[in-house]
Amino acid sequence: MTTHAATAQPSYLVDTGKRKGLLAWLTTTDHKRIGVLYLYSMISFFLIAMGVGFVMRLVQLTTFQKLITAQTYNALFTLHGVIMIFLFVIPGLPAVFGNFFLPILIGAKDVAFPRLNLTSWYFFMAGAILAVLSLFTGGGAPDTGWSFYAPFSLKTGTNVSLAVFAAFVLGFSSMLTGINFITTIHRLRAPGMKWFRMPLMCWALYSTSWIQLLATPIVAITLVLVILERFFGIGIFDPAKGGDPLLYQHLFWIYSHPAVYIMILPAMGAITEIIPTFAKRTIFGYKAIAFSSMAIAGVGSLVWAHHMFTSGMSNLATILFSLLTMIVAVPSAIKVFNWVSTLYKGSIDFQPPLLFALTFIFLFAIGGLTGVMQGALAINVHIHDTYFIVGHFHYVMFGGTGMGFFAALLYWFPKMFGKMYSKTAIYVSWFPIFIGFNMLYFGMLILGMMGMPRRYYVHLPQFHTMHVVATVGSWFLVLGLLTYFGTLLYALFKGPKAEDNPWGGVTLEWTLPSPPIQENFETIPTITHGPYHFEQESK
């Protein structure tokens, strides 16, 4: 298995074409290099947005005498949301690990449209740059929150148009990636790689890509309407002209709720790859997990109006959407049960990726359960637009997608870069992350129950203690994250060479050298069995 030392082809990290260095990277059509380009850009955006979040918490440390003005605070939470959502969590796992590993996992040499793939990255970067420009041009940084609700987004003097256009461009990037992945899975599977022999990450990416295709265009057109409204006053969302802000909310959430499943599904896919490897046994309930991915994608597209329970919808709609919201919890729970059942009676090899995967399950369970609470109409009215919502979606998006991303990065880092990181340093980083995370976001859940509204610049004295707890938690969290990224950065330059298969995984990427060669496979493998086929188990 590990006789690749004599391989003729160089690793994908070595420049062999006419172009060298940075230029070779910027013009590459290799899916692995594009994945790495996304990785570097996204971690940068993540760190920036993390810094913004850190400052927001500092502001809440006092009840008066604020560090910054209220308008700056509005800009900061908009900025934090826009960067985290559009530049990190939505594209995070599919663009980085999907690009790098999808072709490898199905035994292909590249995605179906490699040049289109590079184009997606350029759209992504263009969107990111426009988003940054919107902060410093026009009327200043947008202050609407990441959801750009009409009619405020139509009336505010800040530079909403450019920010919204940036989101449009990012949506385009996301759609192109989706088209690429679906075509790749349909057309480029290796001989014998039947649908039910694909690693479950591929199913997760497949479901995700469908949501990207079917939901993203709705938000694209909605954002175009906001721009047209601001420039030409077409009046569709403007009540003064007969338009309806409620229509904006509907159209916005038709995309933006499914978008949270775009965010979480690939993370679930990565967790599903990690757990069998460290339990050394096949996944429990392969088909249940595959179909639950599709079910989450399907049902998840039909629950959007649970964001609008207090917006004045019809009673029928509120009841219908409440019911559908509850139903989404079923396929999500199926996955959790399958992961836990896989671990049961497995030969557990406790390594950093598994630690982060278990953290994912724990935090996601809290996020998921608080989500079901919000789906109930009566509770929703009580906690609507409070810190409870903020706490909930950080448990799902950060505890879920974020931890999934960190776990996936730990799992695949040795394969991607051929270097091993210090496991001890990662364990050390885990403690402040875990403790800080729960202080910060559980604190927010409690604050929300007490009635602290979200997006407020100031808070009343009775909320002060919990705000301090949350802020101190944010310090732990940031400390842990910096240790985590520092460890990986150090490993990238100074780390010892990683083995080809450091974790004893059995999916196709572990049959390749670390880092993989340019065309992934010297000969395309023929697949004869399912993805999680552990020898010791079949003995």
Partner 1 sequence: MSEHVHRDDFGARLGMWLFLVTEIVLFGGLFIGYSYMRYKYPMEFHHGGAELNATLGVINTVVLLTSSLTVVLAIVAIQRAEKKRAMAFLGTTLVLGVTFLVIKSFEWAAKFHHGLYPNSAHLGTLPPGEQVFFGLYFTMTGLHGLHVIAGLSVLSVMLWWVATDRVRPDRYIHLENSGLYWHLVDVIWIFLLPLFYLAA
Partner 2 sequence: MSQHAEHSADLNTVQQPEHPAEHPGYGTFIKVWVALLILTACLVGMSHVSQTYAVWGLLTMTPLKAGLVFYFFMHLKYEGPLLKIVILVTLGTLLIFFALLFSDVAFH
**Residues interacting with partner 1, by CB under 8 A?**
29-30, 109-110, 112-116, 175, 178-180, 182-183, 186-188, 213-218, 220-222, 224-225, 228, 232-236, 240-244, 247, 250-251, 254, 518-519
- Which tokens is 209 given? 């890509």
Alpha-carbon gap, residue 447 to 517, rounded angstroms: 51
User: Least distance to partner 1 from the beta carbon of 224, Å?
Assistant: 8
| 235 alpha carbon, distance to own chain's centre | 34
User: Least distance to partner 1 from the beta carbon of 456, Å?
Assistant: 32
Nearer to partner 2, 214 or 435 (CB): 214
Nearer to partner 1, 155 or 241 (CB): 241
User: Least distance to partner 2 from the beta carbon of 215, Å?
Assistant: 9
Nearer to partner 1, 223 or 357 (CB): 223
Q: Which does 305 bind (CB under 5 to 8 A by kind): partner 1, partner 2, none?
A: partner 2
Alpha-carbon gap, residue 466 to 461, rounded angstroms: 10
User: Least distance to partner 2 from the beta carbon of 314, Å?
Assistant: 4
Q: If DSSP codes are grouped into helix, strand and coil, which group holds residue 509? A: helix
Alpha-carbon gap, residue 187 to 181, rounded angstroms: 10
Nearer to partner 1, 17 or 51 (CB): 17
Q: Which does 314 bind (CB under 5 to 8 A by kind): partner 1, partner 2, none?
A: partner 2
Q: Which does 236 bind (CB under 5 to 8 A by kind): partner 1, partner 2, none?
A: partner 1
Nearer to partner 1, 225 or 408 (CB): 225
Q: Which does 114 bind (CB under 5 to 8 A by kind): partner 2, partner 1, none?
A: partner 1
**DSSP letters along 8-74, please?**
SSPBTTS--SS--HHHHHHT---HHHHHHHHHHHHHHHHHHHHHHHHHHHHHTT-SSS-SS-HHHHH
User: Least distance to partner 1 from the beta carbon of 217, Å?
Assistant: 4
Alpha-carbon gap, residue 323 to 377, rounded angstroms: 10
Report yes or no: 367 and 400 within 8 Å, Cβ to Cβ.
yes
Catalog residues that contact partner 2 under the rule CB under 8 A: 17, 109, 186, 191, 210, 214, 218, 246, 250, 254, 301-302, 305, 313-317, 320-321, 518-519, 523-524
Nearer to partner 1, 15 or 244 (CB): 244
Q: Which does 29 bind (CB under 5 to 8 A by kind): partner 1, partner 2, none?
A: partner 1
Q: Which does 220 bind (CB under 5 to 8 A by kind): partner 1, partner 2, none?
A: partner 1
**Secondary structure of the chain: what % helix, strand, coil (to 5)?**
70, 0, 30
Nearer to partner 1, 134 or 180 (CB): 180
Interacting residues of 314 by C-beta distance below 8 A, sequence separation 6+: none
Q: If DSSP codes are grouped into helix, strand and coil, which group holds residue 211? A: helix
Q: Which does 315 bind (CB under 5 to 8 A by kind): partner 2, partner 1, none?
A: partner 2
Alpha-carbon gap, residue 13 to 516, rounded angstroms: 9
- Which tokens is 464 given? 């002060």
Paired strand residues for 453:
386
